[in-house]
Amino acid sequence: MRVRRVVGGEGEQLRAIRLRALRDAPEAFGSSAERETAYAPAVWAERAAGAETVTFVAVDGGRWIGMAAGRPDGAVVQVLGMWVDPAARGAGAGRALLDAVAGWAAARGAERLELGVTDRAPAAAALYRAAGFVPTGEARTLPGDPPRVERILHRSLTIR
């Protein structure tokens, strides 16, 4: 398994893994497969090109088995769309994806990573804790699904 950055021209592959993620774990995301299925090919091409958000994928034998994206927001990089195929979980892909986003963010001069994890994703929360993320104390309900709570976690990228 290796982790690499998605590049321009990979919009269809990015669409395919994102829709797999949304179908596998709808409770973990603020969007839905139904919503994103309707996105035009140009949206996926733009996402793959990484104009605003960079996406990394875990690849095993040519198959995309996981993804995580990073979007700069000042000194913070938001980690978005984190997902690993159920058959590949527990083998290090999630940690490798987080480390790839962290490396990219640190190279940009970011001070910390931040992400949200829903109360319905305890395995993801455990991965984030193991990767050095700690709660900020902030929580919010997800738009369109008020019973679902997302807790915000962060990880420092600066050495003190």
pLDDT-based confidence at residue 84 (cuts at 50, 70, 90): very high
For the chain, domain boundaries: 2-156
Mean pLDDT of the 26-47 span: 91
Region 87-98 average pLDDT? 95
Residue with tokens 């104009």: 51
Q: To the nearest 5 percent, what fractions of the chain are helix, strand and coil?
A: 35, 35, 25
Percentage with pLDDT > 70 across the chain? 96
CB-based contact 67:97 (threshold 8 Å): yes
- The architecture in CATH of the region 2-156 reads 3-Layer(aba) Sandwich (3.40)
Q: Terminal CA-to-CA distance of the chain, rounded, Å? A: 32
Q: Are 67 and 49 in contact (CB under 8 A)?
A: no
For the full predicted model, state whether its pTM sits above 0.75: yes
Lowest mean pLDDT among 27-31, 75-79, 144-148: 144-148
For residue 48, count CB atoms less than 10 angstroms from its CB and return exposed for 0-12, middle for 13-18, buried for 19 or more.
buried
Mean pLDDT of the chain: 92
What is the side-by-side order of every strand in the sheet holding 2-5? Answer: 2-5, 54-60, 63-73, 76-84, 112-118, 145-156, 134-142
Dihedral, CA of residue 39, residue 122, residue 149 and residue 17, to nearest 10: 0
* Residue carrying the six token digits 């690993």: 84
Model pLDDT for residues 52-70, shown as the tens digit of each residue = 899 999 999 999 999 999 9
